[in-house]
Structures are given as structure tokens and as C-alpha cells.
Amino acid sequence: MGRTHSNAFSQVSHFFDLPVRPVLQAVCARNVGRAEAFAKQWGYRSVVTDWRKLVESPDIDLVDIASPNDTHAEIAIAAAKAGKMVMCEKPLGRNAAEAEAMVAAVEAAGVANSVWYNYRRVPAVALAKEMVDEGRLGKIFHYRAKFLQDWTISSDLPQGGEGLWRLDAAVAGSGVTGDLLAHCIDTAMWLNAGIGEVSAMTETFIKSRKHNLTGKVEPVGIDDASAFLARFENGSLGTFEATRYARGHKALYTLEINGEHASIFWDLHDLHRLQYFDHRDESRTRGWRSVHITDGDHPYMKHWWVPGLQIGYEHTFIHQAADFLAALGEGKSAPPTFREALRTDYVTDAVLQSAADRRWVKVQGAGAAHAS
Amino acid sequence: MGRTHSNAFSQVSHFFDLPVRPVLQAVCARNVGRAEAFAKQWGYRSVVTDWRKLVESPDIDLVDIASPNDTHAEIAIAAAKAGKMVMCEKPLGRNAAEAEAMVAAVEAAGVANSVWYNYRRVPAVALAKEMVDEGRLGKIFHYRAKFLQDWTISSDLPQGGEGLWRLDAAVAGSGVTGDLLAHCIDTAMWLNAGIGEVSAMTETFIKSRKHNLTGKVEPVGIDDASAFLARFENGSLGTFEATRYARGHKALYTLEINGEHASIFWDLHDLHRLQYFDHRDESRTRGWRSVHITDGDHPYMKHWWVPGLQIGYEHTFIHQAADFLAALGEGKSAPPTFREALRTDYVTDAVLQSAADRRWVKVQGAGAAHAS
Amino acid sequence: MGRTHSNAFSQVSHFFDLPVRPVLQAVCARNVGRAEAFAKQWGYRSVVTDWRKLVESPDIDLVDIASPNDTHAEIAIAAAKAGKMVMCEKPLGRNAAEAEAMVAAVEAAGVANSVWYNYRRVPAVALAKEMVDEGRLGKIFHYRAKFLQDWTISSDLPQGGEGLWRLDAAVAGSGVTGDLLAHCIDTAMWLNAGIGEVSAMTETFIKSRKHNLTGKVEPVGIDDASAFLARFENGSLGTFEATRYARGHKALYTLEINGEHASIFWDLHDLHRLQYFDHRDESRTRGWRSVHITDGDHPYMKHWWVPGLQIGYEHTFIHQAADFLAALGEGKSAPPTFREALRTDYVTDAVLQSAADRRWVKVQGAGAAHAS
Amino acid sequence: MGRTHSNAFSQVSHFFDLPVRPVLQAVCARNVGRAEAFAKQWGYRSVVTDWRKLVESPDIDLVDIASPNDTHAEIAIAAAKAGKMVMCEKPLGRNAAEAEAMVAAVEAAGVANSVWYNYRRVPAVALAKEMVDEGRLGKIFHYRAKFLQDWTISSDLPQGGEGLWRLDAAVAGSGVTGDLLAHCIDTAMWLNAGIGEVSAMTETFIKSRKHNLTGKVEPVGIDDASAFLARFENGSLGTFEATRYARGHKALYTLEINGEHASIFWDLHDLHRLQYFDHRDESRTRGWRSVHITDGDHPYMKHWWVPGLQIGYEHTFIHQAADFLAALGEGKSAPPTFREALRTDYVTDAVLQSAADRRWVKVQGAGAAHAS
């Protein structure tokens, strides 16, 4: 994630006219050698190995957190207290309790803040948002999202440490629920409505793995797979699923919305396309439209290349950086703020609790779900 | 359904060499004029308006039931008692209690019997079955099925009577659970394993509709949408969903199986294709294979055209008729028998009960699900 | 082809209300045993081994020719002289000279006649025709067609005799030009405009093969691959290609039309879909529409199943039989008549001559092409 | 093109470890205001408005030409004479005569040189190259390429000047032949073999347009569409087509290679996928593989993100910059060199001449084509 964030701040001024031009002032990593190599590669002006130095430094305006989940709360709270703007990788906390403390800190400090739910800034997803907001879909009946991966199927894969902390429950907080479903939930609530209640199941297919830090075979604490049924606050039904055991899928985040008049489908593996069906089209020639999101009138795309030429994954981070810097010019925080991201942590907490208790769980802070 | 069944028995001898050649002996319908027109069009030798006449007739060997769900049990039980072979449209009964009585009747009578879960005979699905049975997928982790339609979105659509009995709970038994999910469940248990327990939600989006038989606006008793989480007896996880409110989908039955080594995906809207990913392929050139199921070594396809030329929906019924007649030659019933189809009714009953009670429900007759 | 034609006449009355009901009166094949088996399977009332018997028989109204190309002219001319209606497999003759004689015969006799260019009756292609005729595409700039197969790549494949006469130039007339490009040309001139002139190249990749009838290795006389540039009479440009050496394609007949306002694409491997792009759609949500041709308002489809359920290859022949029988009721011949099909033979003759002479060749009977 | 090149040199050191680190020393543009704005946005150290200053400047090592085609030769030759390395946008010259002079200049000067045929560096295309070179496809029978756009359909579009010089024959040299087909030809000869001879047709659909520089309606000198048949030196057949009148396609560069054992298809609109069919796969489960080119063992991809996450158009330029800088470390020029790019100009010259003369034209410098 360090690379995607550094790239975002490095590239944003090349493609966007913004009121503020970011400077890559300092990079922090525990290993000084790697920090220095990274700084050299990306042009950071300095290097620290203790994040507290960053937080205290007078020449730092913004602290951007791209470290493992168990560090988010401590760093963000300290940074906010020091009056720094804070951007944080998702999920905000390992759980809603951590996230609540983070929200309190940034709001108390009055600092700009944002969470890197980067998929909102895929141009196709941003277009979907515009279309929903324009009322094109009519009343929404169904929302469906999946995030499928296959990288942990081998039982030889260890857990913990460098590159594998996502398998370590103590560091990550949870497995696919916080890692993958969090993305799905953030987009869903943004595009559709709040989630009122959930019924979930989780599974850990491989029960124990060697831990890289202890060297011992230890129980796996994370969820390998997580699926849930949901009722949204607007009366629509949701189905969600994430797993790292779906052979053949690397990062297949898909979402579909079915409305009274129209439906939308999107897929991260072909992120530059949006599938759109509109029942109001003439019946005889009606069909799902494969919209190639490369034209100047598509969100963000006037900043890139001529029509027909696609952009990729890292551009979503550049767009978020651009929106953050543009919002700064207006004295605002670009969404999702910490407060907005907290709502996703409430849902993931409810999912984990529902799976543990084998019952429907109401999401904290949700309005009444329109259950029949 | 009368046309698809008549077509199956009419066409089967043109394309398959079978020990038995079916004769279209008599057609039964309440309206004599329509029965006669139908008989003329399809070459039936005679017409009756009371199904009891068929059941009693000595020149009838097989009674094929293609009438609404509320007639299945009575006709099938009477036919079995009269010593006729019985084929029945799905679902077997409106509920498991009806279906159990039907199973008892055919087994007591010792007559050949089969239920038209026709999608098992899509060549692509039959190939999927072969591949699973060969162990190509390895341990199964996930099974996903959806059946999405959009034909009841308008609130002006009435319920009940000719062509609309599927919206009438008294006739149909349930809504999409028995109509659409039943297909998904039958295929899932055939391809993967028995379903142990479920957590479901259902929804009726439009609460009342004019009833065609009474002429009055009446409450809608069926489920418009139904989704459930499942744990299979082999430890894999299932997600299922059906609806008639998914704008843009006419009959989008999709299924996907993710195994340790390989995955399979199929889609009724392009039923002549099977998507197949095999992790054992060389890594650099590995990808989802779009298998065009038109070759002579694909199930059933040697009976049809040269490679590259696709078949359609009605062929699945022809295949089932062929398998039924071939099995007869060996003194057997072609699957799914009534007994096998009863298992699907146990699952749909569990789904409806789970949705009503908002809790996980164990499927009748299921072995222990491998819940964590 | 005997099966597709027999199926067409067997099925047409089941699905279409027609003024005439065909009777499968007699089948003709050289081998009496196979003829009898075929007659039994399809319900033909009698069998002959000499086609002249059919032509002379008073109880035959229509002679349908599904035999190899070298028999078309002789049978068709005799049948016409005997006052029979004639339907003939494509291409009409092995060359335009044969086809001209056939046209003269049916026109002199005044008998109904039609050539089985069946792809016109794919519902998606028929819809494309409607759309072009409605002027939706505006001025046409480009037409592109390919027909790709891969069944003759092995040098071990012999030529000639049963099932392999298409590799024998004396029987077939030509290779892919008459077999595959003829389909492309027929559809192109029907959908777009007459072809004015062509520049072609052909290739025979495997120069000699064992001949099944002589038992000797003999030079291959057919073209394995054939491609040509074309100028249509309406000023649009065409590119055409056919081959039996395109690994991975079984019968990939594709066509695309690009007009001022809209474009259309179709593909035989997914024959129940039409791709449609309309520039007049709102720019931001414009995309290629994948139209699933299964609705009642699509050509021919009201005769089949409910929306979402696809038909296959053989249905194109059923549609042609239906159109032929419907036209008979009005005293007409269903297109393409022999005269219309002759135009395709003029183009294939021009293609072969252009390839031989390495120059542009004007198509016989064509109006002036709008070359710049 | 200035942006894509600047981005390439700006980004290359962030993602590749290279022996040389480029410095954005100076930018040249005729309009000083725009040059300064561009320099500021991209971090160029200085600005000039006369390219001769760059060529003479001692602190410039490499001159990169991204200006219209009519400037390529003069700048490149001057830069080479001054001992600068030269990179040049494609096509090399407006015609082969210009390109020959450019080759002579860089070879006489002994300077590193390369032409931005960037599509070679799409990872999917680079993988195709590896596969062909490994002999996986076996003997090649067919090569097919198209480059379809639709941006000049309106007759209101003027020609000439800023952003529209591609419609001005004096500046561009030709229309789609040099602009689009040049890409197709470069890739084809790289992947497959030299092109021996061609038969072409070109068309100018809109014969006159307002000229932006003169303000008058003037004849259009470029080709709007260009298609040709080709015979490659290895005996395979080629079909090529480019147009700016293909409604619905923005930059649809597609290529397909059919070999004895395997085939490959690629499409710029989904540039991160490669379609691959291998006949040696088990017959029953054989199909076109959709290879998602995002894994670490795909060309260039280990430098980017985790599997499943796609890159876009501009990355092809970054890859070419990386290869160029890596080659410098070995004292070489990264392909395609000027000499290699000259071969493409020979083919485009032959295409234009063939279209003008309506005859097959042998490509200059080509070996004997294996025509039958």
C-alpha cells in the first residue's frame, strides 16, 4: 500500500489542477534500510523509523497511514492530537471500538481526514453513483456484492509477519470480513443505503498454520470466508460474500444493483467497464450495455487519455488524493471521512457477531430495516 | 410446459436410438377446444378433459404431469396406484408433505418415475457433473447459485389463473423458492453434496395484486425474492438467491463451484458454454476457459449437429426423455426419481421456515453439516 | 443436411400455424439400407435410391435437395421440368454457369423455389435486417464477415467420399469460398447491398491428401482459405475471410456492420445474441448492447419459449420451412429464390477468378461500385 | 503524446531498477506559455521554443520526438548529427524515403535510437510474443489485425492544426494507414514474420473539410479507411483493416494469430487480457482461455500490483522507457530501432501504392512471399 499511496501523491499534480501541491516530505518504516531505499525510489525528502517523529514534526501537514490494521488507531489518534490531517488505509479500525476512538480524535482536533476506500474512485463505480443519485434505477430491490480471491488455498502458506499479516487475527482484526467485505460494504452503503441487519456465516477452512513470527503451528484466528444476507434501510435485499478460497479469482470484486427501471453491474477484473441495463430502452433492441469508461464525460476520465484507452488500479488512489486536495481547498474532508468509514466497521462487527451467534444482528446506529 | 414435454417425446426418437419408442397417445386439458387444437398440432391420438380417464385408460403406460403444482400429488398418486409410470414437472409437491406421499405411492406401486429437473440435462451442466465426479475440482469450498428474473416487477400484473398461477400461493405452494430455487437446489445437491442447514430471508415486494379468478385485489402470498446461506454436508459453503425483481435478467440461472484445484461456472443465458478454470494449467497462460459445448465428446452432443453449432432450451427435455426411455430398457428410473426430488422439497421447506422464523434451520434428513 | 431438413419439415407444424402442412413422403439415398433406416427414424413414408423416381412421382410436390454440390443442378433442373417445387442446399451450383441453368429451369417451369441460406433466419440476423431496413444505422461505411473453422488442419485427413466431399473440388466446386464465404456473401448482400468488385487471395495449405475414392494421394483442388476486399454498390467497404485453418474456431461466422449512427455485430457461436451500438444513446451511458434474442418481439421468437430461453442451430431451418410454406399460401417463393442465390455464385466466381489472376474483378451483373 | 512520454520518464524510476535515471531536463514547444505550463506540471527544468536549441544543448543526452509526423525527420536527423540519443513517435517518417534518411542518420552517428511502437509493451502482447517464440502455436496459418475508431464520422469536423493534424495529409503523410495500420503492421511483423506483398483498398468517405489553418474548405488528402490482404514471408495469410468510421469503436486494436496448435487473440479495449486457445488441451474441456494478465510471471507485471489488479494504457510507454534505459546499460538500443521501424514504412508505402494502382505490390526489402 505504501507504493499506491506514494504513487497517488506523486502523480496527482501531473494530471489534476489542484489548489494544493503535495510534497513527499518523509517516509516512515521500521527498517531503516528499506525506508531509505523507498525514499530514494519515490523522492521522499527524509526518512524516519519511528512514526512518533512524523507526528511531532512541524514540517509535516498530513499523516498518511498505510501500515497494518493494528497500528491505525494509535497513529491516527496521535496525529490528530498533533493537529495533522490524517488519511488512513481501510478498514478504519480492527473493530468499531477502535474506529470510534479514531473518529473522536479527528473530530476533536478538527483535522481533515479520509479513509482509502479507493474503489469509490473507480470511474465506472463513480458513474454508477451518479446514475443511482439521478434516480435512473428507480426503487432499488436488490444489491449483490462479492469479493473473491484464491491466494490462501495452500495449507503450506504461513501466517503472520511481512506480507502475511492479513492472516494474523491479532494484527488484522478479522479475515476477509474486514479486508474484503469492508470494501463491498462501503460501496454498498454509498451507492444504495444503510444496512439495517445481517445474518452471516463465516468459515476458516484451514484451521492452523505455521506462524512466521513464532515459528510454531498455531490456530488460525481469521475468517477465510464470510457471507451474509442483509436488509438495507431502504427495503432492498443484499447478499454479500468474500473468500480467499475461490479458485480462479484473484481480486474479483463484483457488484450489482437491480432497480425498478434499470440495473448496473461492475467487476474489478475489468474495472474500466460498467454494465448497464435500462428497461426504458426500446424493447426489441434492449440489452445490457457494456459501457467502456474511457470518455471525457465519464468521472475523472477527462484527466487521462483519449477515448478507448483504459486506466488501471492505481488511478483510484490518484483520484482519491485529487479529491482530498480539492476538498482541502474548500476547507473540507473528502469522503469517506472517518465518521463515514466507522459505519462500515459497525456492519463488519455485526457480521462477525451474527456468524458467531448464528442469528440475525441489527447494525449499530442503523435505522429500522424494512423487513416484511 | 405442455409444449416442451410434447416436443421431447416427439423428437426423442429422431435423435436417439432407444429401446422404446414413445407414442403420443392422449392429451388431457380442462378446455376441450384447446385440448383438441393441441392434439392436432402435436399429433396426439386422442383427447380427454378429466385426467382420471387417462389414469384409468389401459392404453396409457406413462402419465406425464405438466399441470400446476397443486395437481401434482393427486394425479401422480392416482397414476401410480393404477400402475402407470409417472413423470412430473418440478417441484414435486407444493411442500415436502405432498412430495412424501407421492414418493410413497410410486415406490409402493413399483413404477418408473422421474421429475423434470431439466437443467441437469443441459450438456454443459452434465459435463460439470462429470468433472466434479472425476475429482478434478478437489475439495469443494464454495457453491453459488442464482436464478434471476424480472417479469413481475409491474404492480399491474394480476395473480392467479391462466399463465399466472405461479403468483398464487395456494396453487404454486410458494413463489420463487419452489419455482426457481428448487432448480438451483436440485443441481447443487447433485453436483456438490446434500445441504445440511440454511439461513434464509424472503421478501414480497408487492403486497397485494388483483386476483384473476376472484376479480378482487388480494394479498400476495408468495415470496417474490428468496435468498439463503447454506452449509453443505461436505463442509462447503453455499449462497443461493432467486428473485423476479432483477431488472435485465429473464432467466439468469447461474451456478459456480470453487474447488481446491479448479472452478466451474455456468449460465442459462448462454447455456451452451461452460467456464472452467484449472489451477493445474501452466501458470503463465492460465485463465478461465470458455468451453463451447458443441463437440461430439460433450454429453448428449454426438446426437446433434457438427461442432460449433449450438442447441437450445428444449433439448434438455429431449435429453431427459431419452434418459428415461433408456433407463426403462434396463428396468430402472432415470434420475432424479421422486425420492431424489423429495430432498429438494425438504430444502425449500427449510428455507421458507428459516425465513419465517429468522433462524438457521436444519434440513430434514440431512447428515450433520460441517459447521465450524 | 438430411437431418436438418427433415427436422425442419417435421417440426414446422408444431410451432407455426401455416396454410400448408408438409408430409414426409419419400427419402432418397443411394444406399438402400441407410435410406430405410433414415426413413424409419424420421417417419418418411417411402424410400427410393434413384432421385429420378422422386422427380417423376405424382405424389411428390416438393423436391428438397440436400446432396453434394455436384448433384444440385441436374436434380433441380429435372425436378423443375417435372413441375415440382424445388428447395436446394447452398451454394446453388458449383459455379455461376450451373446456377444460371437452374434459375432458368425453375423460372421456365414457374415453380416455387428457394435456397437454404439458413443464417438469414437466425432471429438475431433477422432483427439486424429489420434494423438496417428501418434506416437505424444511417449510411453504411463498413461490412465485415468471417467464417472460421479448424477441422482440416491435420494432413492425415483424406479427401473425397462420404463426409469428406467438401475437400474434393470436383464435387464441391470450390473449398471455403463456396462452402463458407457463400453464406457470408448471401447475408452481406441481403443486409447491406450488392457487391461490385473484389480483390481476393486464396490458399491451399496442404497441397495433397489421400483421396478416399481412389485410395491414392492426389493434389488438393480446393481452397483451404479465402479472403477478399470488396466494394459494395452503396459505396461501403467490405472485408471477407473464410478458412478451415483457424485453430479454436469451429463455425465462427461473424458479421459486423458500421453505419453513420449505429453498428451491429453477430456471431454464430452465440447465435442468440445481437450486439448493437447506437451513437444516439446518451453519451455518458452509451455502450454496446448485448441483446438476448429470446423475447416475443424478436423475429420468430414468439413461436418458441419464454424470454431468456434460447434456441439453437436447427431452428433456422425450421424458420425457413415456415417462411416457404407461408409464402406458398400466397403463391410466392420465400427468399432467397434461385435467382437471388445466383448473385452469390457470381460473387464467389469473381473471388476465385480474382485470386487466380491477382487483380480486382468486377462481379457479373453488379452495378457500378462506388470506388473512389 | 507529450503527456504519455513525460509520464513514462517520470514514472519509470519508481517501478523499475535501472542503470540510468532519467532527468526531465527541458521541454520544447512552439508556444512558450504552454511550454512553461507543461514544464511546471511535469517538473521539467527548462523550456525552449526552438527544437534546434535542444539539439545543440550540451546538457541534453536524449531527444524524444513527440511532435507531428512532418517534423520527425528533420529533428531526428539533426539530433543524431549532434550525437544525441533519439526516440521518436511512430510512424518513423511520413514515408519510407524520410525514414531511410533517419535510419542513415542514427546509424552514421552511432546513437541509441528507438521508435514508440508502444503496443509491443502491453504485457498481454509481450506474452503473446513469448508464446510465439516458444513455438507453442506451431506453423502459423493466419494473422488478422484491425484498428477501428469512429472519431471523424461527422462532416463538421475540420482538418489541420492543433489536435487535428492527423487529418492533414501534408503533415501526417497519410491517414489511418500511417496512424493506425502502422501499429498493426509493426506488431504483426514482430509477432509473426515479414510481410511480402499486399493488395489494398483505401477510401476517403468525406471528400472535403474545412481546413483550420487556411479557413477554407479543402479536399481531404488522407485515407479515412484502409484495408489490405497480405502474404507473410512465412507463408501465412494476413488481413488488415483500419478506419475512423467504425461507429462504436474508440480504439479497437485487435489481433489474432492462428497456428497449427494454438491461437491467440488480443484487444486494446481490454488490454489486460489475452485470449488463448490450445488444441493440445484435453478435448472435452478445451476452450479459449481468458488470461488475466496481472500476475507476477506475466511480462512487466512483477513491477506493478498484486494479481487481479490491472494496469492501463500509459504503462506501455513506461515499459518502453524502462527497456530503453536498461538497453542503454548494455550499450544497445531497445527495439524497435529506427531500422526496424523503417520496415513498417515500407509496408505502409506498399499499401498506399497498391490502393492507388489497384494491384498487388511487393514490399521493399521483403523476401519472397510464399504465394501458391
pLDDT in tens, C227-273: 999 999 999 999 999 999 999 999 999 999 999 999 999 999 999 99
**How far apart are the CA of D9 and the nearest CA of chain A, in angstroms?**
12
Report d(CA A347, CA A366) in Å as an integer: 9
Task: Round to whole Å and give the CA distance between C234 and C371.
Answer: 10
B87-124 as b/e, with b when 16 or more CB fall inside 10 Å? Answer: bbbbbbbbbbebbbebbebbeebebbbbbbbbbbbbbb
The predicted structure's pLDDT at residue C368 = 56
Contacts of C292 in chain A (CB under 8 A): 287
Does position C340 have pLDDT exceeding 80, yes or no?
yes
Tell me which residue in C6, C308, C315 faces B251 most closely, judged by beta carbons.
C308
Give, to the nearest 10 degrees, the angle between helix A2-15 and helix D2-15: 160
Neighboring chain A residues of D14 at a CB cutoff of 8 Å? 3, 6-7, 10, 41-42
Task: For chain B, count helices (H), then strands (E).
Answer: 11, 16
pLDDT in tens, A87-106: 999 999 999 999 999 999 99
Reported confidence tier of residue C367, pLDDT bands at 50, 70, 90: confident
Please name the chains neighbouring A, where neighbouring means 3+ C-beta pairs under 8 angstroms.
B, C, D
Helix B2-15 to helix C2-15 angle, to the nearest 10 degrees? 160
Neighbors of chain D with 3 or more C-beta pairs under 8 Å: A, B, C
CA distance B11 to D366: 59
Whether A283 and C292 lie within 8 Å, measured CB to CB: no
Distance of CA B253 to the CA centre of its chain: 11
Q: Which is nearest to B84 in space by CA: B58, B102, B103?
A: B58
Nearest chain C Cα distance for residue B139, angstroms: 31
pTM for the whole thing?
Answer: 0.97
Question: pLDDT tens digits for C130-162?
Answer: 999 999 999 999 999 999 999 999 999 999 988
Task: Please state which of the ranges A116-125, A186-195, A362-371 shows the lowest mean pLDDT.
Answer: A362-371
Please compute the mean of the pLDDT values over residues C99-125 and round it to a whole number.
Answer: 98
The H or E element spanning position B48 is strand B46-48
Cβ contact, residue pair D289, B291, below 8 Å: no
pLDDT at C188 over 60: yes
Residue A368 has a pLDDT of 57
Interface residues on A facing D, Cβ-Cβ cutoff 8 A: 3-4, 6-7, 10-11, 13-14, 41-42, 149, 151, 249-252, 268-273, 292, 294-295, 304-315
Q: Which residues of chain C lie closer than 8 angstroms to A126, CB-CB?
A: none
pLDDT score at B371: 43
Give the cell for residue A336: 469517506
In whole angstroms, what is the distance from residue C344 CA to residue C342 CA? 5
- Cβ D372–C204 below 8 Å, yes or no? yes
Residue B346 neighbours by CB under 8 Å, 6+ apart: B96, B363, B364, B365, B366
Q: Which of A249, A271, A290, A314 to mutate to test the interface with D (most CBs of D within 10 A)?
A: A314
**Cross-chain Cβ contact A250/D307 below 8 Å:** yes
D148 CB neighbours in chain C (<8 A) are 258
In sequence order, which residues have a C-beta less than 8 Å from that of residue B332 and are 6 or more positions away?
B112
Q: Per residue in C54-79, pLDDT tens?
A: 999 999 999 999 999 999 999 999 99
Angstrom distance (rounded) from CA C334 to CA C113: 7
Q: How confident is the model at residue D372 (pLDDT cuts 50, 70, 90)?
A: very low
CB-nearest partner of D287 from B285, B290, B297: B290
* Contact between chains at A199 and B229 (C-beta distance less than 8 A): yes
- The rounded average pLDDT for each run of 10 residues, N- to C-terminus, in chain B (372 residues) is 94 96 96 95 96 95 97 98 98 98 98 98 98 98 98 95 91 96 98 98 97 94 98 98 98 98 98 98 97 97 97 97 97 97 98 98 80 42
Closest chain C CA to residue B163 = C306
Q: What region, left, alpha or beta, does residue D255 occupy, with left being phi > 0 and alpha being psi -120 to 50 degrees?
A: beta
Do the chains contact at B247 and A229, CB–CB below 8 Å?
Answer: no
Place of cell 430444502: B347
At residue D369, the pLDDT reads: 46
Other CB atoms closer than 10 Å to residue C49's CB: what's the count?
14
Residue C371 pLDDT class (50, 70, 90 cuts): very low
Q: Do B307 and C249 touch (CB under 8 A)?
A: no
Rounded average pLDDT over D22-51: 96
Q: Which residue of B has its CA nearest to C149?
A: B308
| C-alpha cell of residue D155 | 462532416
C237 and D279 within 8 Å at the Cβ level: the answer is no
Chain C residues within an 8 Å CB radius of B304: 312, 314
Subunit contact C260:D248, Cβ cutoff 8 A: no
Task: Evaluate if residue D192 carries a pLDDT over 80.
Answer: yes
**Helix (H/G/I), strand (E/B), else coil: D215:** coil
* A:C CB pairs within 8 Å: 50
Distance (Å) from the C-alpha of residue A84 to the closest C-alpha of chain D? 27
Q: Residue A43 above 50 pLDDT?
A: yes
**Extended beta strands in chain A, E state:** 26-28, 46-48, 62-65, 85-88, 113-115, 140-148, 195-203, 208-210, 217-219, 225-232, 237-243, 252-259, 262-267, 273-278, 288-292, 361-362
Residues 6 or more apart whose Cβ sits within 8 Å of residue D236? D140, D141, D142, D143, D192, D193
Per-residue model confidence (pLDDT) at position D368:
57
Closest chain B C-alpha to C14 CA, distance in angstroms? 5
Contacts of D299 in chain B (CB under 8 A): none
Phi and psi at residue A87, to the nearest 5°: -115, 145
Q: Do B276 and D283 touch (CB under 8 A)?
A: no
| Chain B residues in contact with C3 (beta carbon < 8 A) | 14
Judge: A246–B231 Cβ closer than 8 Å, yes or no. Answer: no
pLDDT of residue A1: 78
Asked whether the predicted pLDDT for residue A306 surpasses 70, the reply is yes
Give the pLDDT confidence score for residue A192 in this predicted structure.
Answer: 98
> What average pLDDT is seen over chain C?
96
8 A C-beta contact, residue D114 and residue D89: no
DSSP class of residue D161 equals S
Predicted confidence band at C328 (pLDDT cuts at 50, 70, 90)? very high
pLDDT of A372 > 80? The answer is no
- Looking at residue A371, what is its pLDDT? 43
Q: What is the 3-state secondary structure (H, E, C) of chain C?
A: CHHHHHHHHHHHHHHCCCCCCCCCCEEECCCHHHHHHHHHHHCCCEEECCHHHHHHCCCCCEEEECCCHHHHHHHHHHHHHCCCEEEECCCCCCCHHHHHHHHHHHHHHCCCEEECCHHHHCHHHHHHHHHHHCCCCCCEEEEEEEEECCCCCCCCCCECCCCCHHHCHHHHCCCHHHHHHHHHHHHHHHHCCCEEEEEEEEECCCCEEEECCCCCEEECCCCCEEEEEEEECCCCEEEEEEECCCCCCCCEEEEEEEECCEEEEEEHHHCCEEEEEECCCCHHHCCEEEEECCCCCCCCHHHCCCCCCCCCCCHHHHHHHHHHHHHHHCCCCCCCCHHHHHHHHHHHHHHHHHHHHCECEECCCCCCCCCC
pLDDT bin (cut points 50, 70, 90) of residue D163 is confident
The confidence band for D291, taking pLDDT boundaries of 50, 70 and 90, is very high
State the average pLDDT over residues C187-216: 97
Given pLDDT bands bounded at 50, 70 and 90, which one contains residue C163? confident
B-interface mutation test, from D136, D274, D282, D285, most B Cβ less than 10 A away: D285
Contact yes or no for B298 and D287 at CB 8 A = no
Rounded CA-CA distance A86/A115 in Å is 9
CB distance D83 to D232 below 8 Å: no
User: A319 vs chain C: nearest CA distance in angstroms?
Assistant: 19
CB C349 within 8 A of CB C199: no
How far is CA A72 from each of CA A75, B355, D367, rounded to the nearest angstrom? Answer: 6, 39, 65
Q: In which band, very low, low, confident or very high, does the pLDDT at D371 lie, cut at 50, 70 and 90?
A: very low
According to DSSP, the β-strands at C252-259 and C262-267 are antiparallel
C127 to chain A: which residues are within 8 Å by CB? 284-285
Report the C-alpha gap between A220 and A207 in whole angstroms. Answer: 5
Give the pLDDT score at B370.
Answer: 47
All three cell numbers of D19: 542503470
CB contact under 8 A, A310 and D269: yes
Report CA-CA distances (Å) from A74 to A66, A105, B239, C273, C329. 13, 10, 38, 56, 86
A184-223 per-position pLDDT tens digit:
999 999 999 999 999 999 999 999 999 999 999 999 999 9
The share of chain A scoring above pLDDT 90, in percent, equals: 97
Q: Which residue on chain A is closest to C280 by alpha carbon? A: A281
Q: Using the predicted structure, report yes or no on whether residue D292 has a pLDDT greater than 90.
A: yes
Q: Across the interface, do A243 and B144 touch by the CB < 8 Å criterion?
A: no
Question: Minimal Cα–Cα distance from D298 to chain B, Å?
Answer: 6
